[in-house]
Amino acid sequence: MPTYPPPVPLPDLQRYLKDVSVDANVITLLTDAINTATECVYTYLDRDYTPNAAKTDVFLGNDRAYHFLRHPCGALTSWKYYDSGGEETDAGASYLKLFSNGRLIVSKEKKFLSTYEHRVGYTTPASLACPEMVRHVIIEIAAAIFEDSKQGAGEFRTAPDTFTLSERHEYLLAPYRRLPL
């Protein structure tokens, strides 16, 4: 579950459900539903719209001086690499520069050595915002999760991969999905 604030505030989900409950158990259940729905949608889209979230790209080097990050970068925080024996070398983020709107990092002096596992830590930009359509799909899925949890034994399904998006949701999210290269 994400530890950062989700893109959908609790009052938005309550308004959608027409729920005015102040019971702590219901509030917890609604919050868990939002977090699970957010994780489900972000996993489907293969991208994250959370501002200031800490991310780490892990990749094998290719003897080039550049790497395309999985998410937009606001600030680089670390660069470490590991040899085949697992020995860590802290190269430091000061050797890296950002280009292409925070998607491309280029090493000033060193290369991303092949046969080494590189880990580049960074935070997403503070200006990153979740599109309204994605937020709406998160609300709909969170509402379905909440309604499902009220049925039967009241079990809460926490694994995002146990939920399937409807064809309608897939259609709505299609413009925001990252295409595999």
Instruction: Please choose, from the candidates 112, 34, 40, the residue with its C-alpha nearest in 3D space to the C-alpha of residue 69.
Output: 112
Residue 2 above 50 pLDDT?
A: no
- The three-state secondary structure class of 1 is coil
The shares of helix, strand and coil residues in the chain, as percent rounded to the nearest 5, are 35, 20, 45
**What is the tens place of the pLDDT at every residue in 34-66?**
998 998 898 888 888 888 888 999 999 999 999
Least confidently predicted of 44-58, 63-77, 155-169: 155-169
